[in-house]
């Protein structure tokens, strides 16, 4: 018997996954698979989801947003469960699923997964926690943590923007020190984002990112006059390339260290991350995934990235 462990969060998005349960089971039966569901709730955590895992299971199917996927990835890495994953993007935030080309329609996503072969992809690691899409620190990064679940379900992504507007009065410069082989930055920032994927909050920011190049894409929004940020945010909203935009650093690395003594939290795919200092690294081929449409990057491109000379950037502030 070929079995699939199906982990779903009934509260993701607008609870729509509940209406698709029969479709998911029917499509898998058509391909000769038996679905073994596990419903995440306050009383049923992931700790009990894999108690029956054995060689009869072929893959893990996850229905939820980035936070749900992140939680499953952390658990299977911790428990050394060697099974590929497939993602049904049904949460409020589905940035990574969109990055790898997963359709929103659950039936189409199941077909895409079942007609694919496992692909090794990179994942990120912050201290002792893994992330699949983005880790961040600075202003606005804890919006998802502070946004009420009911508000997310009722308003979707609009809930994040509403919560973000509430935090504008807290806008301030943050002292940070970033050390890597490629760039050292010692100065003030508003926000730092470390991508394994390409998007955050549906904004296509890390447009150079690949899922299997062994590198993370780092974006630092430097602190300065607020009026100077207007063209930067316009470029970000438009999805423009960011190399020539003032007050922003964009570079690739496979490992970096971040020190910060400000009273701010870190965020990993919408959940609270570790406290500073942070050591963040790319775990190349860290997990296998089904259904991904992205192709392998050019090895010559990877080599050009790795030999990029180091830059020391120190911003002097009053």
pLDDT digits (tens, 9 = 90+) for 256-306: 999 999 888 899 998 889 999 999 999 999 999 999 996 555 444 444 333
The structure tokens listed for 270 are 């919408």
pLDDT on residue 166: 52
The predicted model scores a pTM of: 0.84
Distance, CA of 107 to CA of 62 (rounded, Å): 14
Q: Over 60: is that where the pLDDT of 234 sits?
A: yes
Distance, CA of 162 to CA of 169 (rounded, Å): 13
Q: Between 153 and 289, whose confidence is greater?
A: 289
Distance, CA of 48 to CA of 37 (rounded, Å): 12
Average pLDDT, integer, range 237-244 = 63
Q: Between 141 and 180, whose confidence is greater?
A: 180
Structural domains of the chain in order of their starting residue, each with its CATH number? 2-116 (3.40.50.10330), 129-285+294-314 (2.60.200.40)
pLDDT on residue 78: 95
Average pLDDT, integer, range 62-77 = 94
Q: How confident is the model at residue 109 (pLDDT cuts 50, 70, 90)?
A: very high
Q: How many CA atoms lie within 13 A of 247 on its CB side?
A: 20
Q: How many CA atoms lie within 13 A of 282 on its CB side?
A: 24
Distance, CA of 6 to CA of 28 (rounded, Å): 11
β-strands 57-64, 85-89: how paired?
A: parallel
pLDDT on residue 204: 82
Predicted confidence (pLDDT) per residue in 19-38, tens digit: 999 999 999 999 999 999 99
Output phi, psi for 121, to 5 deg.
-130, 165
Q: How confident is the model at residue 93 (pLDDT cuts 50, 70, 90)?
A: confident
CB 264 within 8 A of CB 137: yes
Average pLDDT, integer, range 60-73 = 94
Q: Over 60: is that where the pLDDT of 167 sits?
A: no
Write the CA distances from 135 to 85, 116, 130, 282, integer angstroms: 21, 28, 9, 12
pLDDT on residue 302: 46
pLDDT on residue 162: 43
Q: How confident is the model at residue 237 (pLDDT cuts 50, 70, 90)?
A: low
Predicted confidence (pLDDT) per residue in 154-163, tens digit: 434 444 444 4
Distance, CA of 125 to CA of 250 (rounded, Å): 19
Distance, CA of 294 to CA of 97 (rounded, Å): 11
Average pLDDT, integer, range 50-73 = 95
Q: Over 90: is that where the pLDDT of 1 sits?
A: no
CB 103 within 8 A of CB 307: no
Q: Between 231 and 287, whose confidence is greater?
A: 287
| Mean of pLDDT over the chain | 83
pLDDT on residue 309: 45
């Amino acid at each position: 018997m070929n079995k699939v462990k199906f982990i779903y969060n009934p509260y993701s998005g607008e609870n729509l996954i509940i209406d698709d349960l029969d479709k998911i089971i029917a499509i898998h039966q058509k391909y000769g698979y038996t679905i073994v569901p596990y419903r995440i709730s306050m009383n049923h955590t992931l700790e009990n989801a894999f108690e029956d895992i054995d060689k009869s299971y072929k893959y893990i199917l996850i229905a939820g947003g980035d936070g749900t996927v992140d939680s499953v990835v952390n658990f299977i890495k911790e428990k050394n469960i060697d099974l590929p994953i497939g993602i049904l993007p049904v949460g409020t935030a589905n940035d990574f699923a969109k990055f790898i080309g997963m359709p929103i329609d659950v039936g189409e996503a199941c077909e895409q997964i079942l007609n694919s072969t496992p692909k090794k992809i990179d994942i990120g690691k912050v201290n002792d926690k893994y992330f699949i899409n983005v880790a961040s620190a600075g202003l606005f990064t804890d919006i998802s943590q502070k946004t009420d679940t009911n508000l997310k379900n009722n308003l979707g992504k609009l809930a994040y923007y509403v919560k973000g507007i509430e935090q504008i009065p807290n806008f301030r410069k943050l002292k940070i020190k970033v050390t890597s082989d490629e760039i050292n930055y010692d100065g003030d920032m508003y926000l730092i984002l470390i991508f394994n994927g390409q998007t955050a909050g549906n904004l296509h920011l890390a447009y150079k990112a690949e899922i299997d190049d062994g590198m993370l894409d780092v974006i630092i929004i430097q602190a300065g006059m607020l009026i100077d940020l207007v063209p930067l945010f316009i470029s970000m909203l438009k999805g423009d390339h960011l190399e020539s935009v003032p007050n922003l650093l964009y570079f690739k690395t496979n490992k970096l260290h971040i020190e910060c003594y400000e009273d701010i939290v870190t965020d990993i795919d919408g959940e609270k991350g570790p406290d500073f200092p942070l050591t963040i690294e790319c775990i190349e081929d860290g997990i296998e995934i089904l259904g991904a449409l992205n192709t392998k990057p050019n090895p010559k491109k990877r080599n050009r990235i790795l030999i990029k000379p180091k830059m020391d950037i120190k911003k002097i502030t009053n």
